[in-house]
Amino acid sequence: MQIEHFEIMQFLSAHPPFNDLSEDALKQLASEVEVGYYRARSEILHYGESIANLYVVRAGSVEVYRRNGELYNRISEGGLFGQRGLLMNRKVRFPVMALEDTLVYCIPVALFEAFCDEHEAFADFFEADDSGGLIQAVSDQADSNDLTTAKVRTLLLRELVSVELTRSIRDAAKLMTEEQVSALLVYDPSKPVSDDPEDDDGQIVGILSDKDLRIKVVAEGLDTNQPVATIMTRELTIVDSNAYVFEAMMMMLRDNLHHLPVVHKRRPIGVIALSDILRYESQSSLLFVKGIMEQQSVEDLAHYAQSLASVFVRLVNEDANSHMVGTAMSVIGRTIKQRLLELAEDKLGEPPVPYCFIALGSMARDEQLIVTDQDNALILDDAFEADKHDSYFAALAKFVCDGLAQCGYKLCDGGIMATNPQWRLSASDWQAQFEDWMDNPKPEALLHSSIFFDLDGVFGRTQLASRLSELVAKKAKITPRFLAAMASNSLRRTPPLGFFKDFVLEQDGEHKHSLNIKRRGTAPLSDLVRVHALAIGSRKQNSFERLEDIKEAQLLPPGKVEDLEAALEYIAMIRIRHQARQIEQGKQPDNNILPKRLSEFEQRNLKEAFAVLDKAQSYLKIRYQNKAILK
Amino acid sequence: MAMQGDILSWPNRFAHLARQSSDERLRAFYTAGVQAPDTPVSQAQFVALDFETTGLNYETDDIVSVGLVPFDARRAYCRDARHWILKPSTPLHEESVVVHQITHSQVSEAPDLDAILEELLACLAGKVIVVHYRHIERPFFNQALMQRLGEGIEFPLIDTMALEHRIETNRLTLWQRIKRQPIPSIRLADSRKRYGLPYYVAHHALSDALATAELFQAQLQHHYTQHTDIKSLWM
């Protein structure tokens, strides 16, 4: 017997999205409701706790906060809250507090989901909520993460220790000893502080470290009465106090910096050290990276790398966004390569000529995930003579590629590895190769080699890699036929949406009813973003950073870049969570997702994301291919 | 805390009644016991109960509908709520039909209280019963069972109206009390208004039960702590 709670039914029937429901549906909802009363100023939802209800404000009003305490929304009678947490991972994303004495009706999550599945208008309401449910869903995800929300300034635990550039080296050394710091910021108080952040680095003019004292002063017998300006390091990477901890961490990891000066409104306020971040992110992938460098043999390294999967799962469970997961996995992969190369040099001796070991594809884009091939190559100094030196590099490449395979990075099916003599070239030969690809682009040929257009120096003389990226950035944008060929390649893989916007799934074989979310989703998206990035001469490699450049260049119609960002993030997160779930279930992670296993919401959002890709591909076709035909 | 062997304590009274009672259903109800008197309100299980009746005199009038909603200090659980329309042993008066809007044809098809008694008692067993205005449910229930089984029923209950009376009286200053200044209305709808609770249509047993549950939750939050024990509230 179903009881008619007509007070509740009547109320719901007067408010969207319940007003479109049939009487029977309302009766069902009302009969399952739980009712709760909250006194003014009492907490209703606490950040991070699990959430099992959709809340309807029956009387009173509530305030919804962002995690940083900022007011996000005020909801009064008839309004809803809690839906974001239900849609994402059933954790409270936005804490809620009763503003007045408040009565809420709580709808259990199982019923909420059943209603979304059965009543289209009801589901649409939540999807359309706050304009662009997909973008919102994605940004909520970002909001919830500590590393992406915490600002650099939160790491500054001590007062700034700095010295004027006119002070003597001796004074500086004394100050460092007294303050027990290993680095000092050097500033010039007479420098005007401009409001334009692009202008320069403000008053900070250099940094002085223990190392400078050792190398430039003691070893050289320099007069310590000289001003610090004579020995400070002038080329600085500086971070703004409002930057995110995550950004600072990446700056330090990428450029191998141990100290990062922090400025606020262009005035120095402190220095953060890598150890500050390590302390901050206690159980992190960074510690894992540190451990890699401590492994003493390939066997140890391979053994250590076995826990890579759990590092990945932990990141996912900590709500890292796809950029963070991708970057962390890439940094880890890069570090493993670096350690392998050190071990290789230990074994094989000093290299006969300088070289640069490069990463290609997803690792170079900072988009590596857990299922990945190794794609790599070697750039050799122009002093390289094949008959004299190649045996060394062949052995080095074999050592590293075999080692990577032992660490779980599969050998590349396409043979894009440093072990392949074709991809072990001198800097000039590489340059010629890239110029040839761009001057004589044939889509078929580029299909194989487009992977080279995401490249990153990992070890050795990394300037060799930078010079190649510079060449590509300068030349690609003025070579429309090349862009057309790349565009044509990127259109070969289409999103898996049918004419009626249903998923097109594998019909048979091992992966029946599944779709390959990499081949049909993340890969065509990053291909597409790469074409636009090449067209504007961007030197960024990461797809999100490329999109930022694309937005700045106003290459695409308004709103399109945001759509692409949201689509990429959404598809990547579905892929990442799928792999994390498989690992947790003890399965071998892959890229084949079963849409049926996704909730109705995830399916809708995923279709929307694929539709964004579909539209973007049509645009790409018009933009680059027509031009090429005219040529 | 009630003393062991205190004949007046509810647990002892229930144990006694469980031995005395001749009706199996009542025996089951008493055997389920009452919650320990020192149970803090945050831990207690409640059930809000409301009757609509043919009139106000329990000796001559009878129950026409019963509504109940189980709840605790945090939530009221609609899915476990119950509502019955019953065939009273005395005829419906026109005036009462106007009040509760239950019609002659509805009651003519309805069961007798006896037919639903087992389920009703099962819903109440082991819970603290909460009503608004204690002079209806307990005497009517007792009388209705007397009539049918030759045996009445006893149970502790919390009366939100009595609590509200206590709360509003305590608000008065000594001077106001000396002047016998009246306290504001403590009727269900008026009391609810003071706590920001919405208006519910009155005199439907299920709505009134839910309204009572919500009022009690509000009273708990405003005037008591989670450590308040139930014996300080029930009577």
Q: What is the pLDDT of residues A535-544, one digit of tens each?
A: 999 999 999 9
Reduced to 3 states (helix: H, G, I; strand: E, B; else coil), residue A413 is: coil
Instruction: Out of A7, A38, A39, name the one closest to residue B200 (CB).
Output: A7
Looking at residues A170-184, what average pLDDT do you find?
A: 89
* Cβ atoms A3, A26 nearer than 8 A: no
Reduced to 3 states (helix: H, G, I; strand: E, B; else coil), residue A373 is: strand
Average pLDDT, chain A: 85
Cβ atoms within 10 Å, residue A220 = 9
* Cβ atoms A613, A495 nearer than 8 A: yes
Chain B contact for A38, CB < 8 A?
yes
Which ipTM did the prediction report? 0.89
Chain B residues with beta carbon closer than 8 angstroms to that of A11: 198
Gap between the Cα atoms of A72 and A143, Å rounded: 12
Determine the distance in angstroms separating the CA of B200 from the nearest CA of chain A, rounded to an integer.
Answer: 6
Chain B residues with beta carbon closer than 8 angstroms to that of A38: 221
Determine the distance in angstroms separating the CA of A60 from the nearest CA of chain B, rounded to an integer.
Answer: 7
Gap between the Cα atoms of B34 and A261, Å rounded: 68
Residue with token string 């949406």: A497
**Tens digit of pLDDT for each residue in A42-73?**
999 988 888 999 999 999 989 888 776 777 77
Backbone dihedral angles phi then psi of residue A107, each to the nearest 5 degrees: -100, 125
Q: Do the Cβ atoms of A30 and B75 come within 8 Å?
A: no
Gap between the Cα atoms of A356 and A458, Å rounded: 7
Higher pLDDT, B114 or A446: B114
**Amino acid code (one letter) for A99:** L
Residue of A nearest to B202 (CA): A7
Determine the distance in angstroms separating the CA of A186 from the nearest CA of chain B, rounded to an integer.
Answer: 59
Chain B residues with beta carbon closer than 8 angstroms to that of A39: 218, 221-222
- Name the helix (H) or strand (E) containing B65: strand B63-71
**Amino acid code (one letter) for A626:** N
Give CA angle at A102 (A100, A104), nearest 5°. 155
User: Best residue in B75, B160, B206 to probe A by mutation, most A CBs within 10 Å?
Assistant: B75
User: Which distant-in-sequence residues (6+ apart) come within 8 Å of B109 by Cβ?
Assistant: none
Q: Do the Cβ atoms of B206 and A101 come within 8 Å?
A: no
Gap between the Cα atoms of A52 and A262, Å rounded: 42
Report pLDDT for B81.
95
Residue of A nearest to B205 (CA): A5
User: Best residue in A32, A35, A41, A107 to probe B by mutation, most B CBs within 10 Å?
Assistant: A35
- Name the helix (H) or strand (E) containing B85: strand B82-85
**Amino acid code (one letter) for A190:** S
Reduced to 3 states (helix: H, G, I; strand: E, B; else coil), residue B51 is: strand
Half-sphere exposure of A261 (CA within 13 A, CB side): 27
* Cβ atoms A102, A38 nearer than 8 A: yes
* Cβ atoms A64, A24 nearer than 8 A: no
DSSP letter (8 states) at residue A213: I
Backbone dihedral angles phi then psi of residue B6, each to the nearest 5 degrees: -70, 110
Report pLDDT for A628.
53
Determine the distance in angstroms separating the CA of B14 from the nearest CA of chain A, rounded to an integer.
Answer: 31
Determine the distance in angstroms separating the CA of B151 from the nearest CA of chain A, rounded to an integer.
Answer: 30
Cβ atoms within 10 Å, residue A42 = 12
Residue A283 has pLDDT above 50, yes or no: no
Reduced to 3 states (helix: H, G, I; strand: E, B; else coil), residue B93 is: coil
**Tens digit of pLDDT for each residue in A609-630?**
999 999 999 999 888 876 555 4
Report pLDDT for A371.
72
Determine the distance in angstroms separating the CA of A600 from the nearest CA of chain B, rounded to an integer.
Answer: 25
**Tens digit of pLDDT for each residue in B119-172?**
999 999 999 999 999 999 999 999 999 999 999 999 999 999 999 999 998 888
Dig out the tokens for A238 from the structure: 């500086």
Q: Give chain B's contact residues with A (Cβ, < 8 Å).
A: 71, 74-79, 81-83, 195-198, 200-201, 204, 206-207, 210, 213-214, 217-218, 221-222
**Tens digit of pLDDT for each residue in A334-356?**
999 999 999 999 999 999 999 99
| Dihedral sign computed on CA atoms, order A78, A82, A84, A90 | negative
Chain A residues with beta carbon closer than 8 angstroms to that of B218: 37, 39, 101
Q: Do the Cβ atoms of A34 and B207 come within 8 Å?
A: no
Q: Do the Cβ atoms of B204 and A59 come within 8 Å?
A: no
Residue B113 has pLDDT above 90, yes or no: yes
Which of these ranges, A426-430, A591-595, A617-621, B96-100, has the smallest mean pLDDT? B96-100
Gap between the Cα atoms of A368 and A236, Å rounded: 29
Which of these ranges, A3-7, A434-438, A547-551, has the smallest mean pLDDT? A3-7
Higher pLDDT, A472 or A239: A472
Q: Does residue B11 have a cis peptide bond before it, meaning omega lies within 30 degrees of 0?
A: no
pTM for this model (two decimals): 0.51
* Cβ atoms A54, A12 nearer than 8 A: no
Residue B232 pLDDT class (50, 70, 90 cuts)? very high
**A and B: number of Cβ contacts within 8 A:** 73
Gap between the Cα atoms of A341 and A401, Å rounded: 10
